[in-house]
Amino acid sequence: VTLEGEARYRNASGHLVMDTFQEFNEVQKENKVFKSTVRPNTNYAVKICTVNKAGCGHSSTPNEKAKCNSPPAVPSSMPEFYLNPMEGHEKCRQLKLKLQKVSERNGFIRCYRVIVIKLAKGESISVLPRNPDHVNLTSYEGVHQNGGTGGAYLAEAFDT
């Protein structure tokens, strides 16, 4: 069984990349099922050949039943970012966000979201959930009018 894969995406530098690979697997005659881990955002084709003492015969021609696409997945890493104070704004708490691009190997990145979390007095970041999906979002007004109990809101969203 030959598993062929192809993925087209933009890398962290913004250049278009095409990954292609072949994975050869020998399947014993007792096995009626072949399983393989697939990568996200990849087009796959499966070819089969029979093997004897002379080697592998002609490979099958992939038809539509021998092709599939794996779905996109979340990015494999967070983008690197830097928060720097804005120059000339000593009294104002304005920060400049510098964000590095990430590879789109796992799928097209539709947008980046900047979520601001205001912690309650005396709390540290250790109280935040490990999974960002578990942060309850509200509005800017809701966070700043709730009597100092903290909260989170979507401050900005922008595309790539």
Q: Residue 141 has which token pair?
A: 């007004």
Percent of the chain topping pLDDT 90 = 46
Decide: helix, strand or coil at residue 1.
Answer: coil
Residue 145 lies in a domain: yes
Residue 20 lies in a domain: yes
Residues 63 and 9 placed together within one structural domain of the fold: yes
120 and 66 within one domain:
no
On whether residue 81 sits in a domain, the answer given is: no
Q: Give yes or no for residue 91 having a pLDDT over 70.
A: no
Q: Establish how many alpha carbons lie within 13 A of residue 89's alpha carbon, considering only the half-sphere containing its beta carbon.
A: 9
7 and 66 assigned to the same domain: yes
Mean pLDDT of all residues in 6-23: 95
User: Distance (Å, rounded) from C-alpha 93 to C-alpha 70?
Assistant: 44
Range of the domain at 144: 113-159
pLDDT at 30 over 90: no
Q: How many domains does the chain have?
A: 2
Which residues are within 8 A (CB) of 11 and not within 5 positions of it... i.e. 6 or more apart?
A: 17, 103, 104, 105
Q: How far apart are CA 85 and CA 88, in angstroms?
A: 9
Let me know whether 65 and 119 are in one domain. no
Q: Is the pTM of this model over 0.75?
A: no
Q: Please, are residues 149 and 156 in contact by the beta-carbon 8 Å criterion?
A: no
Mean pLDDT of the chain: 88
Q: Kindly state the percentage of the chain with pLDDT values over 70.
A: 97
